[in-house]
Structure 1
Amino acid sequence: MEPISLPSHVHYELLLQLLERQTLFEVGKTFGLGQRPHQREQVQQLISTLRKALAQQKQLEDDLQRLNIPIEYRWSLNSSMEAPSPSPDITAG
């Protein structure tokens, strides 16, 4: 049985850290804490949505494990079977 491809949890963690540690701070700094609460709320909603997405993925993982369906965590859209393409040597010349 072919494994089901799912995003690696690190993708969610990276986005959450970026939004919580930088974006939220920068929105507050740019607009001031009392001004433009709509933008701050938008960032908070985005954070909440990502947390829900991760929780839903974990539920799916639990369901797949109960059904003995293998999971393959993916870091990119590239197939894990493909060999990485060599990077060009910029010092050659």
Structure 2
Amino acid sequence: MEPIPLPSRIHYELLLQVLERQTAFAVSQKPAVREQVHQLISTLRKAMAQQKQLEQTCERTNLPVDYRWSLNNIAFEQPFDQPPSPDIVTGHREPKV
């Protein structure tokens, strides 16, 4: 059975650290924006908890999990005559290997 691709947990941690340490501080004097940031933090914590539940379900049912650090992993699975997919954040393409 093919492993189930899931984002690496470090992605959640990085987003949460930026939002909690930098974004929240930057908007501390702006109540409306501060509330939106707190809602976003809450949503990310819920998403992380839901992923942990999914991981536990996979473990109980013996489904392997493949933690992904990037969408660029997909580029190595594409035929060599096709360009790799652009990075979703930067829009840049990884060079062919």
Calculate the TM-score normalised by the size of structure 2. 0.75
**Highest RCO, 1 vs 2 (Cα 8 Å, sep ≥ 6):** 1
Structure 2 residue identity aligned to 1:85: P
Residues 1:65 and 2:78 aligned together:
no
- 2:8 corresponding residue in structure 1: 8
**5 Å matches for 1:1-40?**
1-28=1-28, 32=29, 36-40=30-34
**Structure 2 CA distance for partners of 1:67 and 1:81, relative to 1, 3 Å:** farther
The list of structure 1 runs, each at least 4 consecutive aligned residues, that deviate by more than 4 angstroms after superposition, is none
Q: Which runs of 5+ in 1 are unaligned?
A: 87-93
Percent pairwise identity: 64
Asked whether 1:82 is paired with 2:76, we answer yes
Question: Counterpart of 2:5 in 1: which secondary structure?
Answer: strand
Q: Which runs of 5+ in 2 are unaligned?
A: 78-93
- How far is 1:81 from its partner? 7.8
| C-alpha RMSD over aligned residues | 2.1
Q: For this pair of structures, how many residues does the alignment match?
A: 81
Deviation at residue 82 of structure 1 after TM alignment:
1.8
The one-character-per-residue Cα deviations of 1:1-47 (angstroms, maximum 9, x if unpaired) are 0000000000000000000000000011xxx2xxx311111000000
Task: Provide the TM-score with structure 1 as the length reference.
Answer: 0.79
Distance 1:8 1:40 in 2: 27
